Amino acid sequence: MTLSHRIYRVESFQIVGPYTLRVRFDDEMEQTIDFRPVLEGELYGPLRDRELFEQVRIDAEVHTLVWPNGADFDPSTLHDWPDQLPAMKTHVRQWKTVST
């Protein structure tokens, strides 16, 4: 049995508000993502610094959003953000528990 899933690529993004990006994918889908609920922990917590957050760019090799501190998100997670957000919030709660 072969499992297959669509691999998405981030084509472009636009900063549309504080910690919020409009992201366009190679299948022409767009998501407006408010990242504030997941900006916790060692990797994503530093992105609460708005200046750092706004240094986001698209990695030419893996076609996803990346930040200078090494933070990134799987393009599929970004593409399906509304469905992925509950699981991401669960991870954030775990990150908070580990860091306290």
pLDDT of the residue at 90: 86
Count the domains in the chain: 1
| pLDDT for residue 98 is more than 90 | no
pTM: 0.86
SS3 category, 96:
helix
In a domain, 70, yes or no: yes
- What mean pLDDT value characterizes the chain? 90
For 37-73, what is each residue's pLDDT tens digit? 999 989 999 999 999 999 999 999 999 999 999 999 9
Stretch 63-88: mean pLDDT: 94
Which tokens hold the place of 95?
């990150």
| Residue 6 predicted with pLDDT over 90 | no
CB–CB of 34/20 below 8 Å?
Answer: yes
- Domain with 60, as residue range(s), is 10-99
At residue 33, does pLDDT exceed 70? yes
Q: Is residue 1 part of a domain?
A: no
The pLDDT value recorded for residue 54 is 98
In a domain, 85, yes or no: yes
* Closest among 86, 79, 99 to 38, alpha carbons compared: 86
CATH code for position 89: 3.30.2020.10
